[in-house]
A and B are shown apart, each in its own frame.
Chain A
Amino acid sequence: MKTRTTRTSRRKPVSEPARLSQQDAALERAWLALQDSQAPSSAELERMRQRLSIVFESPAPQSGALLRLARGPAGKLLASVVVVASAIAVLRVPPPRAARDVSMPEQPLVAAAPRETSISAITSQVEQLPTPAPREVVHVPASEEAAHAATHNVKPRRTDVHTHAAPRVTEPTLARAAVEERTAVARALRAEMPTDAAPSVPGAVAATTRAASEPLVNAATPPLDEATLLEGARRLAASDPDASLRLLAEHKRRFRHGMLGPEREVLAIELLRSLSRKEEASVRLQEFRREYPGSVYSTRLRH
């Protein structure tokens, strides 16, 4: 029974992300060029085709009778019997005590918040959630378990404890504490995030160009990742250097030691130089040299 459930969950289709090259024509061309560069030449293909056509015309070598039997329905039946028997043997062995008690309070969290939602979705969900709701969620499996025990008049099996992890968390205080903590987190996020948060780059960029006095948080709502932020800054460098500098500052605030830290500094220094703000540029260059000694960009920044 248990083996079957795990197998079906493994087969469940995983949602596939759009390919990077779908939004990126240059990348698509690059992939095609890569394919071409790794392809066989037509002469090689023809040579292989001719040699293989002789092989293909001969009958396939017969495999042994025992092998055929093993691959037939009888063999499959035998294999499945072995699998089921070993699964039963595994299930009968009680799990170690420590394994059963691990991470119980996290259960309602997982149930309430799907993994891939944006922060704003999570915050709204969290705030809509009435406080007693998770207690019900927690109690349902517990009562089920109790009913099961009552009708069958048996102690709950150890494997059941393993699958229904929730019944352990019967204290309402625990659940309430979890919810309170989450609401606090949500409130903090909401405070940081404006309501008209722009999810995409062009929107975010437009938000910064709208007015110089506006708070910068607009441009860098949590969904914006490191790379998008910097690319926005680069795109704005020529048309709106001030907005670009603000985006760079935002990047520095949020991803001070991010993977694109050196690139941010190089962009900033070059932009400051182009604006003839020599003093700031040289200060920033010194910082850059301290922070990233021996960087490959040192020669680029020399002149």
Chain B
Amino acid sequence: MIALRRFSNPTLPSAGELEARSQRLAKIFQEHAAFVWRSLRRMGIAPADLEDATQEVFIVVHKRLEQYEERASMRSWLYAICMRVGSRQRRSASRRREEVVAEPPELVVQPEQQVGVEQRESLQQLHRMLETLPEKQRTVFVLYEVEHMNISEIAEALGCPQQTAYARLHKARERVRIELSRARLLGNFL
């Protein structure tokens, strides 16, 4: 079947090429699915929609794999796709839902992760701390500190100059340091 189609259209890939491509895609999925999921989640995608959104990102990857140039970092590229898919998903979600969720969804802890009450509290404290940051600063901060991406990768993912990314990171770090010591000075945080 593929051979026939290939005969009529010589630009179509051969069976071997297809196989190699699907294996490469599977590998990308395996390595980066959790990163994509987390990123979408931080962009405010509702937990119920995360599965759809993650799949959508990888369908875009499947369509555009040839346009991805090796010089760019895979995670930067994926994050840029996440931003586009995320904003589309949020738009359609807000149209679909009847009730508007004013508050960001409560931190949902998976039942399989037996997290102690203490740790859950400190996680919520961490969330509150991150929420004090303006959105752009928070994005850069989380990508740098939590996801361990480089400044250049972050700048590429967000489509901004490195200096901008660095300035946001700097401001966010200052603020987090203040918040951290505030929590530690008077409580038993972390």
User: A residues near B, CB below 8 A?
Assistant: 10-14, 16-17, 19-21, 26-27, 29-31, 33-42, 44-45, 47-49, 51-53, 55-57, 59-62, 71, 225-227, 230-231, 234, 259-260, 263, 266-267, 297, 300
The number of chain B residues touching the other chain, given as a range, is: 35 or more
The reply to whether the CB of B3 lies closer than 8 angstroms to some CB of chain A is no
Quick check: A30 and B126 within 8 Å, CB to CB?
A: yes
Provide the residues of chain B in CB contact with A31, threshold 8 Å: 145-146
Provide the residues of chain A in CB contact with B184, threshold 8 Å: 231, 234
Quick check: B185 and A40 within 8 Å, CB to CB?
A: no
- A14, A20, A225, A230: which contacts B145 (Cβ < 8 A)? A20
Quick check: B145 and A37 within 8 Å, CB to CB?
A: no
A230-B180 Cα distance, complex, nearest whole Å: 12
- B51, B112, B186: which contacts A47 (Cβ < 8 A)? B51
A85 to chain B, nearest CB (A): 23
Q: A31-B146, A37-B123 are in contact. Are A60 and B62 (CB under 8 A)?
A: yes
- A48, A53, A226, A231: which contacts B22 (Cβ < 8 A)? A53
Quick check: A55 and B62 within 8 Å, CB to CB?
A: yes
Provide the residues of chain B in CB contact with A60, threshold 8 Å: 21, 62-66
6 contacts between A and B (CB under 8 A): A16-B151, A17-B173, A37-B115, A60-B63, A263-B181, A263-B186
Quick check: B67 and A263 within 8 Å, CB to CB?
A: no
The reply to whether the CB of B73 lies closer than 8 angstroms to some CB of chain A is no
Quick check: A38 and B38 within 8 Å, CB to CB?
A: yes
Quick check: B55 and A59 within 8 Å, CB to CB?
A: no
User: B residues near A, CB below 8 A?
Assistant: 2, 11-13, 18, 21-22, 25-26, 29-30, 33-34, 37-38, 41-42, 50-51, 54-55, 58-59, 62-67, 107-110, 112-113, 115, 119, 122-123, 126-127, 144-146, 148, 150-152, 161-163, 165-166, 169-170, 173, 176-178, 180-182, 184-186, 190
Closest residue on chain A to residue B25 by CB atoms: A56
B155 to chain A, nearest CB (A): 9
Provide the residues of chain B in CB contact with A37, threshold 8 Å: 107-110, 113, 115, 123
Q: Return the 8 tightest CB-CB contacts between A and B, nearest first.
A: A227-B181, A56-B25, A26-B190, A56-B22, A38-B38, A40-B37, A14-B166, A14-B162
Quick check: A13 and B173 within 8 Å, CB to CB?
A: no
Closest residue on chain A to residue B122 by CB atoms: A30
